[in-house]
Amino acid sequence: MCGIIGYVGQATSSRPLEVARQALARLQYRGYDSAGIVVANQEGLSFVKRAGKLSALEEALAESPLPAASAAIGHTRWATHGGPTDQNAHPHLSQDGSVAVVHNGILENHQALRDELVEAGVEFQSQTDTEVAAHLLARAYQELGDLPDAMRATARRLEGAFTLLAVAQDNPHLVVGARRTSPLVVGLGEGENFLGSDVAAFVACTDQALELGQDQVVTITPDAVAVTDFGGNAIEPRRFTIDWDASAAVKGGFETFMDKEIHDQPDAVRDTLLGRMTPSGQMQLDELRVDEALLRSVDKIVVIACGTAAYAGHVAKYAIEHWCRIPVEVELAHEFRYRDPVVTAKTLVVAISQSGETMDTIMAIRHAREQGAKVVAVVNTMGSTIARESDAALYTHAGPEVAVASTKAFLAQITATYLLGLYLGQLRGTMFPDEIRAILSELEKMPDRIRQVIEGEDVIRQLAVQMKDATSVLFLGRHVGYPVAMEGALKLKELAYIHAEGFAAGELKHGPIALIDEGQPVFVVVPSPRGRDILHDKVLSNIQEVRARGARTLVVAEEGDNAVREFAEQIFWVPQAPTLLAPLVAVVPLQIFACALASAKGLDVDQPRNLAKSVTVE
């Protein structure tokens, strides 16, 4: 969690402050408990920091503006050690004021270091783990006289996950960063350079970037970037071009980012499909740099992910097993990591992540690779840790997703895993070429179908407003409708703070049906009647079962499915689509519902309480 930005330029101007402010606005999804900026000029360091959302920092800056400068570092916080107060907000300065730092991650040995520093006479100003780094860095700087050397010496003393950025009072043309496990990327400008938690921090200023690896220290000046390991050995980082459109990270006339990102979904799916098929209808996944012989010999796929990304994995399981006849397990990354999973060189691990920085998923990837498995990442953020640490990255092209609640990334993840499944089906010969072509052609129709659902959003929004005082909502689904139900429940929990649960409809009679009482709202995701009859009929029976016990049934059904009419209090029609592809349309009404209900309750849709977009701590 936490978003950080570093900037250095040639001139002394307001640009460092502006770059930092804009970057923090784009990084706010990483945490919004407090924010702060420190700028460096010939006079030294000046900073402002405030608890609360960025608006609190903006108000403080309006009252006491920061001076023109040549460098700046900034931070938006998701609190771990120490509450969300002004004192605990970053930057943290050393006792002598010689250096300022911002930090993302958790310093696991902070207490021992704090005790040592207190013993040496340091007076702490905050309850954070970060502050030890400021004092250690200042001491090392005093001793070594060189900020990058001091950063390396400090980094060697720290345990845990960290990205640290620092500026020094006596060198306003230098920003130094260190990274272990937490993310950091470099943006390359002309006469200016940037450091950011992810490329969203500086994509408005440059599309050229450098990846940084584990245990590296980076020094940026206006004209140069130098990277070393913690021992001081020079490293040549990989350069890449960011293909995100910077304008995608603004609301573009919508009230919230989430609204906008829901409307971006047809494009996210279309862009993820682009270029994956040859003119002759053959699947091509150029990025899949895993040996084809190995992909043919894989005997199990394990999908690891968290939250919404894990639900995309559940959808993938149904499709990949059906198309490729390979067993697919889906596991929450944190459970996978600390179990003792059976993973061999014949296991293909598919890690799904929007941010590419989810720590639970990173740790699970490392664990899987240590066991000899190959890891393919389905990831949205270029240059992210997950993309870098996996054997291959299959990028989703959803563009920047800013709202904490994932929407377009989810649809793009599902799309990418379909592509992976079709590719494996082609490679392993479990599918006929014409079958693959038929599915691809259906996939190409999905953006229009999603658009159609979005165009009908008013009915869903009206229902959401009527239901704003609901205290519990249940979601039922079978087969691919089951992960859709779980995703619908997750959206409602995280956005509207309403108790919500998603169940496999068949599980109802094994306990959850006891929750049904007069008026209990139950969303039911109905499979296509054109798919397996048995699936459709079973879900209709489930609707009747809850209805008989007083439930208010709100049904997502395929256009033309007249059989549902008599059992549903309200129906949200979605266009016809093949059963396995239907989650791409079925989930959209549930996203719109949660978003509209949260807005009707007056809640902050883009930044729900207690959450951050990238969960970069375990």
Binding-site ranges for ligand M6R (CB under 6 A) = 306-309, 353-355, 358, 361, 404-406, 490, 494, 614-615
**Residue nearer to ligand M6R on the CB measure, 178 or 490:** 490
Tell me the one-letter amino acid at 108. E
Q: How far is the CB of 573 from ligand M6R (least distance, A)?
A: 25
Q: How far is the CB of 307 from ligand M6R (least distance, A)?
A: 2
Catalytic site includes residue 306? no
Q: How far is the CB of 354 from ligand M6R (least distance, A)?
A: 3
Q: Which two tokens stand for residue 37?
A: 């900026």
**Listed residue (415, 433, 353, 419) closest to 385, CA to CA:** 353
Return the residue matching tokens 């649809």. Answer: 411
Beta bridge partners of residue 218, listed in sequence order: 177, 227
263: DSSP letter: H
Q: How far is the CB of 461 from ligand M6R (least distance, A)?
A: 19
Q: How far is the CB of 605 from ligand M6R (least distance, A)?
A: 12
Q: Which two tokens stand for residue 550?
A: 């007083």
φ/ψ bin of 53: left (φ > 0), alpha (ψ from -120 to 50), beta (otherwise): beta
Neighbouring CB atoms inside 10 A of 466's CB total 12
Among 260, 491, 493, 613, the active-site one is: 613
Chain length of the chain = 618
Contact yes or no for 108/117 (Cβ under 8 A) = no
Q: How far is the CB of 82 from ligand M6R (least distance, A)?
A: 23
Neighbouring CB atoms inside 10 A of 342's CB total 10
Reduced to 3 states (helix: H, G, I; strand: E, B; else coil), residue 44 is: strand
**Residue nearer to ligand M6R on the CB measure, 197 or 354:** 354
CA gyration radius, the chain? 25
**Residue nearer to ligand M6R on the CB measure, 139 or 179:** 179
**Residue nearer to ligand M6R on the CB measure, 405 or 617:** 405
Residue of minimal Cβ distance to ligand M6R: 307
**Residue nearer to ligand M6R on the CB measure, 347 or 355:** 355
How many secondary structure helices (H) and strands (E) does the chain include? 18, 24
Reduced to 3 states (helix: H, G, I; strand: E, B; else coil), residue 96 is: coil
Q: How far is the CB of 377 from ligand M6R (least distance, A)?
A: 10
Neighbouring CB atoms inside 10 A of 291's CB total 11
| Residue 83 Cα distances to 87, 89, 129, 604, 615, angstroms | 9, 9, 12, 21, 18
Return the residue matching tokens 């970053």. Answer: 90
d(CA 320, CA 31): 35
**Residue nearer to ligand M6R on the CB measure, 241 or 610:** 610
**Residue nearer to ligand M6R on the CB measure, 122 or 595:** 595
522: DSSP letter: E
d(CA 374, CA 297): 12
Q: How far is the CB of 495 from ligand M6R (least distance, A)?
A: 8
**Residue nearer to ligand M6R on the CB measure, 490 or 505:** 490
Contact yes or no for 311/487 (Cβ under 8 A) = yes
Catalytic site includes residue 2? yes
d(CA 499, CA 488): 12
Q: Which two tokens stand for residue 222?
A: 């206006």
283: DSSP letter: B
Among 2, 205, 306, 595, the active-site one is: 2
Active site residues per annotation: 2, 613
